[in-house]
Amino acid sequence: MSSLLVRGGLVVGPSTSSVGDVLVRDGVIVDVSDTIALPPGCSEIDARGCWVGPGMVDLHAHLREPGREAAETIESGAHAGAIGGFTALVAMPNTEPALDNVALVSYVLDRGTRTPIDVAVAGAITVGRKGESLAPMAEMAALGVRLFTDDGIGVQDPSVMRRALTYARPLGVRLAQHCEDELLAAGGSMNEGALSSRLGLVGRPALAEELMVMRDIELVRLTGAPLHFLHLSTIRSLNLVDAARREGLPVTCEVAPHHLTLDETSCQGFDALFKVHPPLRAASDVEGLRVALRSGLVDAVASDHAPHAPELKDLAFDEAPAGLLGLEYSASLTFEALGGDVDPVQFFSLLSRGPARIAQLRRDDLRVRHSAHGGALVAGDDANLVVFDPNARWTASNATLHSRATNSPYDGRALVGQVRSTIAKGTLVVHEAELV
Amino acid sequence: MIASLRGENLLTLEGVSDAALLEVLDTAESFVEVNRRSIKKVPALKGKVVASIFFEESTRTRLSFETAAKRLSADVLSLAVASSSVKKGESLRDTTATIDALGIDALVMRHQSSGAALQVSRYVPHVRVINAGDGLHQHPTQGLLDAFTIRQVLSERADTTGVESGLELFKGLRVLIVGDVRHSRVARSDIVAYSTLGCEVRVAAPGTLLPANIETWPVTVVSDFDEALEWADVVGLLRLQRERGSGSFVPSLEEFTQTFGLTFARAKRLRPTTIIMHPGPMNRGVEIDSKVADLASAVITRQVTNGVPVRMAVLYLALASVRDGGGS
């Protein structure tokens, strides 16, 4: 393997940052110092003016393989992820068929090893994600699965969710919930409120999410099992989780970049690119989420990258599938949401160290078939690194996406901050914001 | 605000100014006379092609639009969705492109999904799109013909003409809309039209059939339906949209009829001059008693009749007139 010297960037540790050089050799960080002489045969990456942090970890990527390869494959998703600064993705299990058994999990893990980055798997909680009977979580855990979710839909039946938490607890894995009470949200395609009422679109009320957050907090209290709340979209949800955490309950949560940067008014043109579950919320929730993000109420930003074939997003708003692309712009949108004077430590906490902890991808975790992520950037760490330029100004374009699908709602949006380089498992995968 | 609908799509009545509404009403007035002639045809849109695509079943609106187009001498392309490739899985975008490829000037479209007409208008920016009803969102020509009908009745009573009365008769007019507002695109268009024209609009419905956040609408929700009937100058009834599942929003049709149906007994509270309207098709015996529907003050058939000149006006303004720079 080659060696790489990342030169002159702000090296962002878990609590402090300082300008310096990072030397990578044979897949491992071998030195981090103020200045390192360029060893012979070593290539150099100029990171002056940039932040050098641990490779980003996405807790929430729908890679669509197997079953819907027209929208995305594990390979194309991994490329999109690398462009976005991610060195590890957690592949969501709502494929066709669902990732609810060892054969399918093994398939995805195998495909993942053929990509330049690490692909971990979230297994389904229930067979076929039907919310009825438990999937073989212990068998999947033995393959290295550390997160389980029926995402796309939450586990609706409280007795099934209780049983799943009780079963998962001794396995050392974490369940993750898509919080929406589907009976309350039934038939809805955008946030319920004055706007949905005027547009004649059936709404998905904020309460549909908050009720399930409330229920699951109580189930965590009952069972003692850890639970991760996926893509929370209302300030009330975040406050509920924060209160539970203060009580000492083992709960974590993520927010998605689109819930930090778009509000329900985007749905006014009935463009299904803006249809997502949970839906884009009121402007007050977007602002509330940003404040919560800055004040540390959120453990991770996760993309909820959800590719859909173009013809599906050409359907009428209420008929089109929900979901939008997220991997390539997550870092820039998080940077935007953090506002003005962004603390690089917090930035990498949200995009790398926080999610790596939740997904158990760190150096000290019991790891199976992948390298370590979210490290402190010290010698001995696996070389998963990202170089992020906080001053870059660029424009999102659906013509240059690396996903197979093009359902990004950000076409033409001015962005600040860009991933310049991604080093995954010691290899330079993205250089000058292009795949190598 | 859209100052004039000349050369414009008609997708919604939201954001359409009172002047633009007046222009449609006055233009429609000039077409009323055409419909009374023995030869009911003018050459206004000769050589223009109007396509009508109804993705959702409809009898009266489709007939009304096609009649309007033909009376303006336009050629009419009519896509019967039930027998078309739409059933074979063709997308809205491809169906639109196919019709457009035949060479059309206007597209009259009904669809079961809110916003579908707006979406289609983005696919064919060179075609004028007229929304003939999209999901629960809007039914703009119904709103226009309802306003037209009110003005016609009131101006006849005042022994004047609609055109001479302008918007005067709408000022302060008390309109009560009753029933399934939640699932009604007619209500959404009517309420916007009436409030833009200066009417005072109230609604009466079971709580479950009111839309979310009704407090943000330009209406007052009445607590006493019977009192409101005495207050009203116009009562606009809505069809209970049973096909949209409205049945489960009330305990039973009988209870709905008892509480918010315009029964014969309840109709006695109305002043004899109070105009009773219904966009049809009626559920006789549910939202309106059969005998009430046949009262002299019920103008339901007149609404249907007026659909033709109003839709002639809409098509004419969209197609026959060039933009004069006073548009949106």
Structure tokens at A281: 């919320």
Distances (CA, A) of B302 to A153, B177, B201, B213, B306: 50, 18, 22, 33, 6
Residue B326 confidence class, pLDDT cut points 50, 70, 90: very low
Residues paired with B128 in a beta bridge: B106
Provide mean pLDDT across the span A261-268: 98
Residues paired with A385 in a beta bridge: A54, A423
Substitution target in A267, A317, A319 with the highest count of B β-carbons within 10 Å is A317
Give A198-229 pLDDT, tens digit per residue. Answer: 999 999 999 999 999 999 999 999 999 999 99
Q: Least CB-CB distance to B113: which of A198, A271, A316?
A: A316
Distance CA B245, CA A90 (A): 40
Contact A200 B185 (CB under 8 A): yes
SS (H, E, C) B26-67: HHHHHHHCHHHCCCCCCCCCCCCEEEEEECCCCCHHHHHHHH
CA A78 from chain centre, in angstroms, equals: 13
A26 is catalytic: no
pLDDT score of B324 more than 60: no
**Per the omega criterion (within 30 degrees of 0), is the bond before A278 cis?**
yes
Substitution target in A191, A192, A196, A270 with the highest count of B β-carbons within 10 Å is A270
Structure tokens at A130: 């039907």
Contact B212 A315 (CB under 8 A): no
Q: Least CB-CB distance to A200: which of B136, B216, B217?
A: B136
Q: Are A275 and A190 in contact (CB under 8 A)?
A: yes
Q: Are A430 and A115 in contact (CB under 8 A)?
A: no
A332 touches chain B (CB under 8 A): no
Provide mean pLDDT across the span B13-22: 98
Strand positions, DSSP E, A13-107: 17-25, 28-33, 43-46, 51-54, 56-61, 86-91
Strand positions, DSSP E, A187-292: 190-191, 203-204, 227-229, 251-255
Backbone angles phi, psi at B51, to 5 degrees: -100, 140
What's the length of chain A? 436
Contact A198 B14 (CB under 8 A): yes
Class (C level, CATH) for B140-304: alpha beta
Q: Which secondary-structure segment (H or E) carries A393?
A: strand A385-395
Structure ipTM = 0.92
**Coil, strand or helix: which one is B121?**
helix
Q: Least CB-CB distance to B212: which of A203, A311, A318?
A: A203
Task: Quickly list DSSP for A67-96.
Answer: T-TTT--HHHHHHHHHHTTEEEEEE-S-SS
pLDDT, residue B82, reads 60
A315 touches chain B (CB under 8 A): yes
Give A276-286 pLDDT, tens digit per residue. Answer: 999 999 999 99
Strand order in the sheet with A227-229: A56-61, A86-91, A118-123, A147-148, A174-177, A227-229, A251-255, A300-301
Distance CA A295, CA B266 (A): 59
C-alpha distance from B122 to closest chain A C-alpha (Å) = 10
Backbone angles phi, psi at B260, to 5 degrees: -130, 10
Query: A226 — alpha (psi -120 to 50), left (phi > 0) or beta?
Result: beta
Residue A112 confidence class, pLDDT cut points 50, 70, 90: very high
Provide mean pLDDT across the span B114-120: 96
Using alpha carbons only, give the angle A398, A200, A305 rounded to the nearest 5 degrees: 30
B134 touches chain A (CB under 8 A): yes
pLDDT score of A410 more than 60: yes
C-alpha distance from B87 to closest chain A C-alpha (Å) = 14
Residue-wise over A299-317: b if at least 16 C-beta within 10 A, else e? bbbbbbbbbbbeebbbbbb
Tell me which chain A residues have a C-beta less than 8 angstroms from the C-beta of B216.
Answer: 194, 197-198
Burial of residue B88, with CB atoms counted within 10 A of its CB: 0-12 exposed, 13-18 middle, 19 or more buried: exposed
Q: At what angle do helices B60-71 and B300-319 cross, to 10 degrees?
A: 50
- Flag the least confident range among B94-103, B134-143, B268-277, B304-313: B94-103
Tell me which chain B residues have a C-beta less than 8 angstroms from the C-beta of A315.
Answer: 91-92
Distance CA A10, CA A34 (A): 10
pLDDT, residue A271, reads 96
Instruction: Note which residues in 6-25 of chain B have CB less than 8 A from chain A.
Output: 14
Q: At what angle do helices B18-32 and B140-157 cross, to 10 degrees?
A: 70
Q: Are A10 and A358 in contact (CB under 8 A)?
A: no
Contact A314 B211 (CB under 8 A): no
Q: Are B195 and B218 in contact (CB under 8 A)?
A: yes
pLDDT score of A1 more than 70: no
Residue B58 confidence class, pLDDT cut points 50, 70, 90: confident
pLDDT, residue B327, reads 38
Strand positions, DSSP E, chain B: 49-54, 75-80, 106-111, 128-134, 174-178, 200-204, 220-221, 234-237, 275-277
Class (C level, CATH) for A55-359: alpha beta
User: Which residues have CB under 8 Å from A157's CB, separation 6+?
Assistant: A131, A132
Nearest-by-CA chain B residue for A196: B212
Q: Are A377 and A9 in contact (CB under 8 A)?
A: no
pLDDT, residue B165, reads 95
**Coil, strand or helix: which one is B117?**
helix
What is the DSSP code (8-state) at residue A417? Answer: E
Percent of chain B surpassing pLDDT 90: 84
Q: Are A241 and A214 in contact (CB under 8 A)?
A: no
What's the length of chain B? 328
CATH 2.30.40.10 fits A4-52+378-395+409-435, yes or no: yes
**Coil, strand or helix: which one is A299?**
coil
C-alpha distance from A151 to closest chain B C-alpha (Å) = 26
Q: Least CB-CB distance to B115: which of A194, A199, A311?
A: A199
Structure tokens at A104: 């399918």
pLDDT score of A327 more than 90: yes
Helical residues (DSSP H) of A266-353, grouped into ranges: 283-294, 310-313, 330-338, 344-348
Distance CA A121, CA B328 (A): 52
HSE, side-chain direction, 13 A CA sphere, residue B314 = 35
pLDDT, residue B321, reads 63
Using alpha carbons only, give the angle B24, B274, B59 rounded to the nearest 5 degrees: 50
Percent of chain B surpassing pLDDT 70: 94
Structure tokens at A226: 């850890």
C-alpha distance from A6 to closest chain B C-alpha (Å) = 48
User: Which residues have CB under 8 Å from A159's CB, separation 6+?
Assistant: none
Give the residue extent of every domain in chain B: 18-137+306-318, 140-304
B277 touches chain A (CB under 8 A): no
pLDDT score of B85 more than 60: no
The residue type found at A402 is H
A264 touches chain B (CB under 8 A): no
- Flag the least confident range among A147-156, A289-298, A358-367, B315-324: B315-324
Nearest of A198, A179, A212, A183 to residue A279 by alpha carbon: A179
Tell me which chain A residues have a C-beta less than 8 angstroms from the C-beta of B119.
Answer: 270-271, 316-317
Q: Are A14 and A353 in contact (CB under 8 A)?
A: yes
Provide mean pLDDT across the span B284-310: 96
Distance CA A345, CA A368 (A): 28
Active site residues of B: 60-61, 88, 110, 139
**Coil, strand or helix: which one is B235?**
strand
Structure tokens at B248: 């489960």
Distance CA A326, CA A303 (A): 5
User: Which residues have CB under 8 Å from A341's CB, separation 6+?
Assistant: none
Q: Are A78 and A112 in contact (CB under 8 A)?
A: yes
pLDDT, residue B214, reads 96
Q: Are B132 and B108 in contact (CB under 8 A)?
A: yes
Give A355-367 pLDDT, tens digit per residue. Answer: 999 999 999 998 8
pLDDT score of B57 more than 70: yes
pLDDT score of A397 more than 90: yes
pLDDT score of A370 more than 80: yes
Give B183-220 pLDDT, tens digit per residue. Answer: 999 999 999 999 999 999 999 999 999 999 999 999 99
Distance CA A330, CA A257 (A): 6
Give B136-163 pLDDT, tens digit per residue. Answer: 999 999 999 999 999 999 999 999 999 9
pLDDT, residue A368, reads 87
Substitution target in A184, A197, A411 with the highest count of B β-carbons within 10 Å is A197
Contact A201 B137 (CB under 8 A): yes
**Per the omega criterion (within 30 degrees of 0), is the bond before A279 cis?**
no
CATH architecture of B18-137+306-318: 3-Layer(aba) Sandwich (3.40)
Q: Which of A151, A304, A381, A389 is catalytic?
A: A304
Give the residue extent of every domain in chain A: 4-52+378-395+409-435, 55-359
pLDDT score of A389 more than 50: yes
Nearest-by-CA chain A residue for B213: A194
Structure tokens at A233: 């979209």
Contact A311 B14 (CB under 8 A): no
Provide mean pLDDT across the span A114-142: 98
Tell me which chain A residues have a C-beta less than 8 angstroms from the C-beta of B93.
Answer: 311, 314
C-alpha distance from B183 to closest chain A C-alpha (Å) = 8
**Coil, strand or helix: which one is B294?**
coil
**One fold for B18-137+306-318 and B140-304:** yes
Q: Are B306 and B36 in contact (CB under 8 A)?
A: no
